[in-house]
Amino acid sequence: MTCRSLSILVTGAAGYIGSALVRELLAQGRRVTAVDSMLFGDRALAELAHHPRLQILRMDIRGLRREHLTGMQALIDLAGLSSDPVSELDPSWNGLAHHHAQVRLARLARSCGVSRHLLISSCDVYGQRPGQSLNELTPPHPLTRHAHGVLHTEAAVLPLAGDGFAPVVLRLGQVFGRSARMRFDLTINAMTLSALRLRSVTLDQGGQRRRAHLHVRDAVSALTAVLDAPVNNISRQIFDISHLTLCTAEIAEALRQTLGSHLRIVVDGAAPDPHDLAPEGRKAHDLLGFRPQVSLREGLEEVLAGLDHGAITDSPETHAARWVHEILALGREIRATVSTPSGLHPAASIRSGTGQALRLQ
């Protein structure tokens, strides 16, 4: 069986990275099972619903069983919490629905003969390291609930390596750019939206807030590079995946060059940012042949063009923390009147800006 004929299960498949990944895997001729609770809607995969090599499972990862994983050669787990603000909304839900579920899924994958397990993590595990170049040997120093959570999951999954099971962790920088399921709560995308709609961007920390960024297509490229790499190069390995280390002042200046000098840049002061870090990414280059390609300017232009032409919109579900907060609030209202199993959220439905019903289970 060639690498490109692999059967791959992707969790979080209707998400920002997941929806772009599914399209690339199909374009490469792979067979894909896309799993997503559709918490943020299913529009990102709707046009692919009848693709002959794609199966879409609308379900929480806690519902995955042996029959879903049997015959899969790889599992790409994108179902973790996406950001610090989302992690802070409900700590108990964070632990139940993500850490425990992801570790359970890794163990299940191993027992079902899945050979490669790609766990998506975050460069945020390094904490605040101003001016310091980081690599995978740098001791983590997580400062937020999200960073602690993903590091905890890494520590539980990587030791499962062996007996034909190769887990690998990819610590991503913050992603930007256009996707079928947009997010406008990420730094570069949020600044781009503000620049276009308000003709203004506001910079805290004097515009010196600095972190690693990565275009969504480059994130997908890194994931497919792991699928194609020799198993000895990836098993129980951690890879930092990033491209551009930028401060917000540099992003604002790139936006001004793209949109014109009339863009107003407001510099504000605030507390130090816990994400001042610069991963090297040399290991991914050496072992995976990963070379990010998409420039900041290209990413800005595609999002601006999409907004201008109405191909992408600033709808409620494009702001993850705000969207999840509304769902959790509704769930708490229901729990106040309905008895549910310990630790589990009841089914709750709300409607997005498109009128599409969503369910949280």
Query: What is the residue whose two structure tokens read 């191993």?
Result: 110
- Taking only the tens place, the pLDDT of each residue in 128-142 is 877 778 999 999 999
Identity (one letter) of the amino acid at 305? Answer: A
Q: Which helix (H) or strand (E) holds 323?
A: helix 320-335
Say yes or no to pLDDT of 202 above 50. yes
The share of the chain scoring above pLDDT 90, in percent, equals: 70
Would the pLDDT of 209 be above 90?
no
Over residues 227-231, the mean pLDDT reads: 97
The residue among 36, 109, 27 whose CA lies nearest residue 72 is: 109
Distances (CA, A) of 205 to 265, 268, 270, 275: 13, 6, 5, 12
pLDDT in tens, 163-201: 999 999 999 999 999 999 999 999 999 999 999 999 999
- Helix, strand or coil, per DSSP, at residue 78: coil
Q: Which of 190-199, 206-215, 273-282, 341-350 has the lowest mean pLDDT?
A: 341-350
What's the token pair of residue 216?
Answer: 């969504």
Here the tokens at position 193 are 């939206």
**pTM score, two decimals?**
0.88
Burial annotation 298-336 (CB, 10 A radius, 16+ → b, else e): ebbebbbebbeeeebeebebbbbbebbbebbebbeeeee
Q: What is the pLDDT of residue 323?
A: 79
Could you give the CA distance from residue 158 to residue 156 in angstroms, rounded to a whole number? Answer: 6
Nearest one of 249, 180, 237, 239 to 214, comparing CA atoms: 239
| Alpha-carbon distances of 277 from 2, 94, 125, 274, rounded to whole Å | 38, 25, 10, 9
pLDDT digits (tens, 9 = 90+) for 261-317: 899 999 987 666 656 678 999 999 999 999 999 999 999 999 999 999 999 999 989
**3-class DSSP state of 266:** strand
User: Is-contact 63 23, C-beta < 8 A?
Assistant: no
Into which CATH architecture does domain 7-334 fall?
Answer: 3-Layer(aba) Sandwich (3.40)
63 and 37 Cβ atoms separated by less than 8 Å: no
Q: Is 264 helix (H, G, I), strand (E, B) or coil?
A: strand
